[in-house]
Structure 1
Amino acid sequence: MNRRTAAPLLLLAASSLVALTACSPAATEPADASGADADAVSIALVRQIGSGDYFEQWLAGAEAEAERLGVDLSVSDANNDDAQQALDVESAVNAGVDAIVVDHGFTETLQPQVAAALDAGIPVVGFDVDTGDERAISVSQSDHDLARAVLDRLVEDTGGEGEVLYVYVAGYAPLDRRDEVWQDVLEENPGLEQVAQVGVVNDSTAAGVADQAKAALQANPGTTAIFAPYDEFAKGATLAVQELGLEDSVRIYGADISTADIEVLTAEGSPWVATAATDPANVAAVTVRAAYLAATGGDVPASVEVSPTLLTAEDLRERGVTTIAELTDAFPELTTDDVVPVD
């Protein structure tokens, strides 16, 4: 997840990319997997935040795809420091890399550096971020579809009636897109009432949300559902429900997935009953492929979206899924090798 422009979690949410670099290698075939080729494509991955299971899985997927393509991938993590992320983009430009991937961030702090990169002929691919430059390529999950899938399940389970606690932080592009769907669902189902909104995004998001959600649940004892459209939000909400002993009366509907999330979802008596997600490692691979093709003169769409899948706790248990690797075997639609393929 990531932020959109402030004139614009969470908010994973977050994303944009591309332009041809003057220093791109002529070859369009993947380099040797060793990455030792002096002519290997160099890609700088500039991250706003790397903490949390989703982001760790995402990075693992990016590194694996870079290795497969023989890409020289350098990674920087600004640890939620927006000014540092802008400096990291500037450093990548000065280093003369072949392409830059911007992972989440703020439009207002990134736009000047992104423009400088594109002006220098360096393609920029943004994941879950609005870079503020139409020349950049955008990669994202289909956040509207993601929110709709899990909210349809919430409406089905509640009959479209009941008090709902909402976990949300404005300003993050994927969360803002998910919020648009939530507002639509409230209009479509007047029997649903949002009784409170909580949310925080930091290096301890789940713990912070747990404290806020616990207080909100105590203040609103009629709550029967929680919409928490980011996995760290959902884990925090789960902690709050469990600490209050409300597992039998409150259900949680989340978003995103990781191995740690699967453990929470499939635990006996877990109140987190459904999530909608893409495979973070797969989305990262799509992003790296887009940057690779942009750097080597390949054909890349200006905007790339990866479709999500609804995953219920019941389905995960029935299929014996315990890890992300098992998840993609059980739900093969999560792997999208046909999206921005590299032949």
Structure 2
Amino acid sequence: MKALRPYKVLATACLTTALFLTGCTNEQDALSNKTEAKPTVANESQSKQTNTASTSSKVPEQLQKPLKIASINQFSIGTFSSQYISGVKKQVEEFGGEVQVYNADNDLSKMAAYVETAVNQQVDGILIDHGRADAIAPSVKKAVAAGIPVVAFDSDINIPGVTVIDQDDYSLSWNALRSMAQDLNGKGEIVYVWVGGFTPMERRNVMYEAFKKRYPSIKEIARFGTATQNTALDTQSQMEALLQKYPKKGDIDAVFAPWDEFAKGVTRAIQQAGRDEIKVYGIDLSDEDLQLMQEANSPWVSTAATDPADVGKLQVRFLYQKVAGEETPQIYSVQPHLVEKEDLPKSNVSMDEIGKYVEGWGKSDAGTSPWMENLSKDNKK
């Protein structure tokens, strides 16, 4: 893999400055108003200090029986979600447990009802995927009151005792945007594909607003985006219409698509139109995304991402630690990575192989306890 560009090394410093210059403080204030408890915050580099896991290799008594886990998802759209769910299932099965997956089809009231169903069924643990606190927090509080451990992913829930993990959406967004700014040399016309109403998308938009102030010569000429069961296809149709509105080469320099379903749609529209001068910068990654990026005429040049399966496994490990009575952080951010097309080989690679080309990819050992290895061995017998 070639040497990293200087701007990648500086991304973290720029991100920190941008967060203080934008509305992130307001978001934190809003969260702190909901509870006076001070959350334990961690990331991968801090996991050893904040996660006080047992040093014993003996499987805890609470885990001597198979656990029944409920995995409740706001939606299951695209390959990122499917690979995340696959990671959840694989880790639960490795630990000898059973997992029931509930898909709310982007209906938050249904999602809240699923949480209450899990509470009534007296499951051993609940995993939450996305969802908004204003809709599901009351149901999650019932789970906590019933003594059921809860671990959430990409949610704005802020309830004492509930661990919330995320992909560090601020870093994801800034890494992708900084890559685009560097390639554009700080000047150009771009399209922004975005939709509100989802915690990670709202956080990514915070960085986009900071980006516009940091690079005033990069102009947004169009914005669109919807989240449906056919997001990629709908996005493709919308991008095709936009390309007809801006038919000349040079009208559009790049597209920022902070969700891989958006990135897939705009990429295919650009490919079919033969507008290879337009570059796409995305967020999230899956096997399908990788194949699309590696196509010879693909305009998708970079994406900031974490390994969705690895995130699912981490969420399960935190849940098992909670069941075992171990302390887990209230907030944990997974380290994201910038994956660039030019760093990948000409031959197709899968998500299992990408670690050869992106340092640190899929190697999180957070949320691990010595007894987990024995728990896995016991269930292989």
Same fold (TM over 0.5): yes
- TM-score bin, normalised by smaller chain: 0.7 to 0.9
Correspondent of 1:176 among 174, 199, 202: 202
Unaligned ranges ≥5, structure 2: 1-26, 32-38, 41-55, 371-381
Q: Is the 8 A contact 1:141 1:308 kept in 2?
A: yes
Alignment match, 2:379: none
Unaligned ranges ≥5, structure 1: 9-15, 18-26, 32-36
Q: Is the 8 A contact 1:28 1:298 kept in 2?
A: no
Alignment match, 1:209: 235
CA distance, structure 1, for counterparts of residue 89 and residue 118 of structure 2: 17
| 1:146 lines up with 2:172 in the alignment | yes
Alignment match, 1:20: none
TM-score, scaled relative to structure 2: 0.78
Q: Is the 8 A contact 1:209 1:237 kept in 2?
A: yes
CA distance, structure 2, for counterparts of residue 239 and residue 232 of structure 1: 11
| 1:295 lines up with 2:317 in the alignment | no
Of all paired residues, the percent bearing the same amino acid is: 34
Q: Is the 8 A contact 1:43 1:291 kept in 2?
A: no
Q: Is the 8 A contact 1:30 1:70 kept in 2?
A: no
Alignment match, 2:110: 84
CA distance, structure 2, for counterparts of residue 330 and residue 129 of structure 1: 30
Aligned to 1:334, the other structure's residue is in SS state coil
| Higher fraction of helix | 2
CA distance, structure 2, for counterparts of residue 309 and residue 240 of structure 1: 26
Q: Give the C-alpha shift of residue 294 in structure 1.
A: 1.1
Alignment match, 2:22: none
| 1:269 lines up with 2:297 in the alignment | yes
Q: Give the C-alpha shift of residue 44 in structure 1.
A: 1.1
Aligned residues: 316
What code does the residue aligned with 1:282 have? Answer: D
Taking structure 1 as reference, are residues 198 and 94 closer, same or farther at Cα in structure 2, changes over 3 Å only? Answer: same
Q: 1:250-289, aligned counterparts within 5 Å?
A: 250-289=278-317
1:95-152 Cα shifts (integer Å, max 9, x gaps)? 1112111111232221111011111111211111123534321011011111111111
CA distance, structure 2, for counterparts of residue 329 and residue 271 of structure 1: 23
TM-score, scaled relative to structure 1: 0.86
Aligned to 2:226, the other structure's residue is in SS state coil
Taking structure 1 as reference, are residues 148 and 321 closer, same or farther at Cα in structure 2, changes over 3 Å only? Answer: farther
What code does the residue aligned with 1:280 have? Answer: P
Correspondent of 1:105 among 131, 137, 148: 131
Aligned to 2:156, the other structure's residue is in SS state coil
Q: Give the C-alpha shift of residue 28 in structure 1.
A: 8.6
CA distance, structure 2, for counterparts of residue 214 and residue 235 of structure 1: 13
1:44-69 Cα shifts (integer Å, max 9, x gaps)? 11111113100011011111111222
CA distance, structure 2, for counterparts of residue 40 and residue 332 of structure 1: 35
Alignment match, 1:47: 73
CA distance, structure 2, for counterparts of residue 66 and residue 321 of structure 1: 30
What code does the residue aligned with 1:48 have? Answer: Q
Aligned to 2:344, the other structure's residue is in SS state helix
CA distance, structure 1, for counterparts of residue 295 and residue 59 of structure 2: 42
Alignment match, 1:188: 214
Alignment match, 1:121: 147
| 1:130 lines up with 2:159 in the alignment | no
Q: Give the C-alpha shift of residue 332 in structure 1.
A: 4.8
Correspondent of 1:233 among 262, 286, 293: 262
Alignment match, 1:327: 354
| 1:311 lines up with 2:345 in the alignment | no
What code does the residue aligned with 1:307 have? Answer: Q
Taking structure 1 as reference, are residues 29 and 231 closer, same or farther at Cα in structure 2, changes over 3 Å only? Answer: farther
Q: Is the 8 A contact 1:30 1:69 kept in 2?
A: no
Correspondent of 1:72 among 83, 87, 98: 98
Taking structure 1 as reference, are residues 79 and 202 closer, same or farther at Cα in structure 2, changes over 3 Å only? Answer: same
What code does the residue aligned with 1:122 have? Answer: I
CA distance, structure 2, for counterparts of residue 255 and residue 215 of structure 1: 23
Q: Is the 8 A contact 1:164 1:227 kept in 2?
A: yes
- Max radius of gyration: which structure? 2
CA distance, structure 1, for counterparts of residue 320 and residue 242 of structure 2: 46
